[in-house]
Chain A
């Protein structure tokens, strides 16, 4: 199933998008200006607005889910595409314009030093504090950051960042098992499999359009689901390691 040649480079920038017509074109244009050597794939996750229309003529690849599968599955589609097309790196970023594509190049430079299998663009690693974050969210960030530290041996301060560089070595692990949103549960699973995950400081811009993918109900469900998946991820990583040895 592999197709060998990439169109331009060895890196694929993937942008999962669900109803992001207001921002996606500007994000894509900024990415193409900042990283002209990279291919850009937008995973349209069943948008019901004009997201695919506004991308016409932008020169990006468009992978359209016929229905909404969720953020985790959209990332998985991008990983599958990157695997089959032979890319060395997958760079993910959000479609809402919060990430400045100009910050990707230093992230890539750090990744290219070869110390990491996944490098996360982190809003909190520099100050190691969650200043300016609403109380409920701050509690969640601290909880999951602490849980990752306890269960995987290395604290990750920004477990929910959408800006990541994923190396080819981790592609198979990311598609062999299932995750919710590629957050704390995925990080613990991968770290317990021996993959090296690091953080690199970035800043983000305020969201101007659209809304968060987390509804009021999901603020209750998300921690429960993530904790359960985190525990099961530890079990699965143990099983995988035993099978491999």
Chain B
């Protein structure tokens, strides 16, 4: 891989890391999904930056599965798409969570009110 290619790959990796971290911080990406993206992106970025690792991975991947270097572009796009999809799932899940919590609190409060009324002197 050329120097420019390594720089581009590292830049994409850092952008993805920052995006994922920001989504998690704003509770728009579940930490369990986020940690997979963070670990995967960190590993890929380290492989790109360390020449001996990159050589080893390239030799291994070419031997097992020969692919064009252009396949990195759809892979990066797919990863960004996956983050987006999981963020949407998280947003939906958070709405369900909030609804579930509100129902639980409302039921407990009604129970409390009924008991308080029953305890009042007639």
Cβ of B25 under 8 Å from chain A: yes
Say yes or no: A178 contacts B27, CB within 8 Å: yes
Residue of A nearest to B39 (CB): A224
The interface-forming segment of B44-52, B72-80, B98-106 is B98-106
| Cα of A103 to Cα of B34 in the assembled complex, Å | 39
Cβ of A51 under 8 Å from chain B: no
Q: Using Cβ atoms and an 8 Å threshold, which residues of chain B touch A178? A: 27
Smallest beta-carbon distance B36→chain A, Å: 9
| Cα of A85 to Cα of B106 in the assembled complex, Å | 11
CB within 8 A of B109: which of A3, A64, A228?
A: A3
| Cα of A66 to Cα of B104 in the assembled complex, Å | 8
Q: Using Cβ atoms and an 8 Å threshold, which residues of chain A touch B119? A: 7
| Total interface residues in chain A, CB < 8 Å | 31
Cβ of B97 under 8 Å from chain A: yes
Say yes or no: B31 contacts A65, CB within 8 Å: no
| Interface secondary structure of A, over-half rule | mixed
Q: Using Cβ atoms and an 8 Å threshold, which residues of chain A touch B66? A: none
Q: A3-B109, A73-B97 are in contact. Are A63 and B27 (CB under 8 A)?
A: no
Residue of A nearest to B115 (CB): A7
Category for how many chain B residues contact A? 20 to 34
Q: Using Cβ atoms and an 8 Å threshold, which residues of chain B touch A232? A: 21, 24-25
The interface-forming segment of A75-83, A93-101, A205-213 is A75-83
| Cα of A65 to Cα of B25 in the assembled complex, Å | 25
Say yes or no: A69 contacts B115, CB within 8 Å: no
Q: Using Cβ atoms and an 8 Å threshold, which residues of chain B touch A5? A: 116
Cβ of B83 under 8 Å from chain A: no
Say yes or no: B116 contacts A80, CB within 8 Å: no
- Can you list 21 pairs linking A and B with CB atoms under 8 Å apart? A62-B107, A62-B108, A63-B104, A63-B108, A64-B104, A66-B100, A66-B103, A66-B104, A80-B105, A81-B108, A81-B109, A84-B109, A85-B112, A221-B32, A225-B31, A228-B31, A228-B34, A228-B35, A232-B21, A235-B21, A236-B25
Besides A228-B38, A229-B24, 8 new A-B residue pairs in contact (Cβ under 8 A), listed by A number: A3-B109, A7-B115, A41-B108, A63-B105, A63-B108, A64-B104, A66-B100, A228-B31
